[in-house]
Structure 1
Amino acid sequence: MRIVIASDHAAVDLRLEMAAEARELGHEVTDLGPAPGEALDYPVNGARVGRLVAAGTYDLGLLACGTGVGISISANKVPGIRAAVCSEPYSARLSREHNNTNVLALGSRVVGPGLARMIVREWLAAEFQGGRHARRVDLITQIEQSLDATAHSDSSH
């Protein structure tokens, strides 16, 4: 799989661990940074990864910031992105199996490197189960599309 990964400055070390795990599992990984010591606000890379995954340039995205929350919120602003913040492997696996998440976010102040690798491993190994879950993911997409349509109609006034 083609995976894009990025973080903010607070999570560089964790991002490097996540990227290493994905590569060791045989995935092609593109790391968007930032470099160690480079300041970068999490919304920049959250949106950047979201856009690249939504466009189909990459199959999945991995993100990290201090808690994982801010960067996942930023990614989720991109239509078509279903980003989940996970702090343990079980939720990560179920987020893929039940919610068809396409971006995983972790917090460098929440999980250590070993746990981060386990979370990434479980998330990448999981597959969307479809069935009753597909109907629910479709409902999420409908909400997203209706909000997008409302925003476009409101801006034309």
Structure 2
Amino acid sequence: MALIEEMMTRKKPILGVCRGMQLLNVVFGGTLHQDLSEREGTYEKHEQDIPADQTIHQVKVDPNSYLGTILPEELPVNSLHHQIINELGEGLRATAVSEDGVIEAVESEDPNQNFIAIQWHPESTHAADTHSLVLFEDLVERARKHALN
């Protein structure tokens, strides 16, 4: 959490993945459901029992978000988590959700904060999925721009 706070203080780019998204939410004062079973209405399989390089459910991306500028409005993702956001942290906005309403991505409402965070694992799917690779390319580009400033 201290690393996240330091990165945000320095306005360095962050790509939070899975627990990284959960930690960002907590840093911003949000809460988590400790298990999917605590959230009524969750029906998607969020803890897949197939290899992580395969996708298991869809997420819908807010086209009016930063994430929406680099990803399509709907895409398949893998899912390896049992904790989810309960209350969204102050100053965060949900930018992708699964069909059962689980928050799958967040961004800061403050345009000066340079992070996106996602619940899925693009590091496992990037070899076969260009949308996963785009997330890493975007992180590199944001880091390059930050270094030039």
TM-score by length of 2: 0.26
Higher strand share: 2
RCO higher in structure (CA 8 A, sep ≥6):
2
